[in-house]
Structure 1
């Protein structure tokens, strides 16, 4: 796993926008070759525009469009556009003109020279030159000229009249597929987000016995991330104590923590739009109870064994199935489940305790693109998988098994004869206060195995030492 120094050395270079543009163009042409013999054309993309919140002069928090970021590297500047000329292999970035009135409030914007130095592009122009550039390119390419853009992401003022053909479908699809396999720079961005988040996770461990409410720990985590240079979270923090941890995407973060067994912290910073996604579950008192440790050990085995099974070409469905088999074995050993393990699996009773998928692709989005889920799957074991199919080398996926004691989910199983005879309700009643346990790391798939990009502590004895102040 790359160290902070190694990561920073990679990130000292430029985001590989030109390589991404070439990759996208190659995929577009391979898709279009069956229906068209021409390679003449351009890719056109617009970044996110500045906007105001309704009924106020406050701006909407800026979040760059992912496709635009992928082909430009521009993560924090609004109202930009780009053109990639497929024939000439030329990437041009258009930045907004200087507005004298806004300089008073916001200072000087990015200059052409600064943008040329900062971004991996061939040319930088102002957006005032955009339509003239499009008209010139369209005239040069003639009737065979093709424009590739994304539907509903082209401003009304933009004209493609000179181009012979327009495709508003293939570009978005291709970008989403290309984003699955990460290059070294993207991997470094996600590793950097993990490094910063790992420090923040440890700070929460050191603080948990000193706070009264969940939101205090959210403040600790976010503050530590900002101290590390990460101003934004990849997603809203989940800080769930006690039974609240059985709610998968708990968002309240406002309950008292006193007297509860475990705290589940699902939190990760982003670094230049690239996400980390890390979950740790630990004892608030600094010491696992016997029952909470038993569940923790099952989930840790699920995570470690599933991660060990990963490499290029592995079918994600099979790894998810492995997680359920380990969960069933563990819950049988505790007496929560009873009966034959093959029959329990066949009945899908384990989905009462692990209702979500094992993980998802990670990138610019926390739940990244390219997973091809099938939420209409008739099999409840696989219905909520966000990734289906075989994993390519270079993809980054989360491995996040869990066991949850959510009454809203489990009670119907207890009333269903198909499942009820596999669950010992008397033993189950001892575990409601455990709430839920989830452990989540960010895993890079390689040809022969994996690299774990997450270094936040998860060893149970180490967790207890840090919380207790002896680690």
Structure 2
């Protein structure tokens, strides 16, 4: 299957498969608790106001609630009866004072037609429903700790479990179904068009924030008003800062622009990074670094398939990085010795990628941030990849003095780095290329179509 075979628009005309997700979650719970019965209980996020203001905090639905409902509306609740596989959504009743300002809310009839649930009731019926369901023999309520309102009562339930439901949802979210893949693909399509718009506007821009504005405007024009994460728009040496946040520096006199930006579509994320020359022409140094990073990504993507060790793919990125830096003369010595010394972590300090879905850094990766090995410490996925997972592949090379100087001062590493050659690359800043890959039985499908060929990047920027 290729991206051309994913009929996004047709698939997304259906309902978000919330009940199928609930059944998967119950299967996971029963793998831990074989005789589990009772109900799953989840609360959506409530609307709240900013401190010292009557303006609302920007709404972001709780992802666990979204996964089992598909509902991106505030102040809602879900009860899923395990025995009957019946889901009931509870929505806010009509508040006349609120209607004056905000209009009529979603009606029960509209919600039932829109969402994959069996019944819709006003939230005033929540506690009576829980009392009735809790009276069943040996019934357990499965909920998430610290996500239960004080006004909600579980008194009728014999057992209360606040641990396994969150774990179950986190693990089930790793493998995406067709609908979820289409949501990610839609977000990626919108983001790819926005990345191209930035390429077309970069030569006329004066400041990083102008390019951020182009990206956001393009996404909004395509219907994506929310971003999956705050955009990184880093020019020149700032591109060596992995999560650069300022986006307000002048572009004049700088070589590269690193744009890490992705839209959100119905709560599902795209996460795409492109690096390109502000002038429309790579310098000799920046082109050389760019081609190394592109080779890192190409080789790593070629390894992807069901069951592959993400640790091994990540190590391959380091091997290609070392070979490339050796060819430039930035590194010197034996490739295997450099890898064993972990000197390449000075230039690639982050992990190769992460799961993608309802969150940009999605659940289920089981990272080990206390790993003493510096090349694995920040790797967000430490498992073999299952088919159906979506993962980012985002190798990079960075010339950050704050990171590299300690390596130059350490004899263990300095013997492998040629500082005179390195000095030619500080102004490159950093290069990262990031795509979103769906893992399949025999390989992968790239859900990202943003341009990354260096010649094509130059052509678009120059308008030729």
TM-score, shorter chain, exceeding 0.5: yes
Per the alignment, residue 158 of structure 1 pairs with 152
* Superposition misfits of 4+ residues, deviation over 4 angstroms: none
Give the structure-2-normalised TM-score. Answer: 0.99
Is the contact made by 1:150 and 1:172 (CA closer than 8 Å) also made in structure 2? yes
C-alpha displacement of 1:40: 2.6
Deviation by residue 1:269-298 (Cα, 9 ceiling, x = unmatched):
000100000000001111111110000000
Per the alignment, residue 15 of structure 2 pairs with 14
Deviation by residue 1:9-36 (Cα, 9 ceiling, x = unmatched):
1000000001001110111111112xxx
Per the alignment, residue 122 of structure 1 pairs with 118
Q: 1:85 aligns with which of 78, 81, 86?
A: 81
Q: Distance in 2 between matches of 1:328 and 1:30?
A: 44
Per the alignment, residue 168 of structure 2 pairs with 174
Is the contact made by 1:206 and 1:467 (CA closer than 8 Å) also made in structure 2? yes
Deviation by residue 1:388-424 (Cα, 9 ceiling, x = unmatched):
0100000000000000000000001000000001000
SS state at 2:325 partner: helix
Is the contact made by 1:212 and 1:256 (CA closer than 8 Å) also made in structure 2? yes
Per the alignment, residue 41 of structure 2 pairs with 44
Is the contact made by 1:307 and 1:450 (CA closer than 8 Å) also made in structure 2? yes
Structure 2 residue 65 is the aligned partner of structure 1 residue 68: yes
C-alpha displacement of 1:4: 9.9
The aligned length equals 463
Is the contact made by 1:4 and 1:195 (CA closer than 8 Å) also made in structure 2? no
Q: Distance in 1 between matches of 2:325 and 2:451?
A: 25
Structure 2 residue 101 is the aligned partner of structure 1 residue 105: yes
Is the contact made by 2:3 and 2:446 (CA closer than 8 Å) also made in structure 1? no
Deviation by residue 1:38-68 (Cα, 9 ceiling, x = unmatched):
x430000000011111111111110000110
Give the structure-1-normalised TM-score. Answer: 0.97
SS state at 1:362 partner: coil
Deviation by residue 1:234-263 (Cα, 9 ceiling, x = unmatched):
000000010000000001001111111110
SS state at 1:447 partner: coil
Q: Distance in 1 between matches of 2:192 and 2:290?
A: 20
Q: Distance in 1 between matches of 2:103 and 2:109?
A: 17
Q: 2:56 aligns with which of 56, 59, 69?
A: 59
Deviation by residue 1:337-387 (Cα, 9 ceiling, x = unmatched):
001111111100000000000000001110000000001111111111000
Q: Distance in 1 between matches of 2:347 and 2:6?
A: 41
Per the alignment, residue 458 of structure 1 pairs with 452
- Structure 1 segment 169-248 matched on structure 2, within 5 A: 169-248=163-242
C-alpha displacement of 1:5: 8.4
- What runs of 5+ residues in structure 1 fail to find an aligned partner? none
Structure 2 residue 434 is the aligned partner of structure 1 residue 440: yes
Q: Distance in 1 between matches of 2:5 and 2:222?
A: 12
Structure 2 residue 141 is the aligned partner of structure 1 residue 147: yes
- What runs of 5+ residues in structure 2 fail to find an aligned partner? none
Structure 1 residues 5 and 19: alpha-carbon distance in aligned structure 2, compared to 1, 3 A threshold: closer
Per the alignment, residue 249 of structure 1 pairs with 243
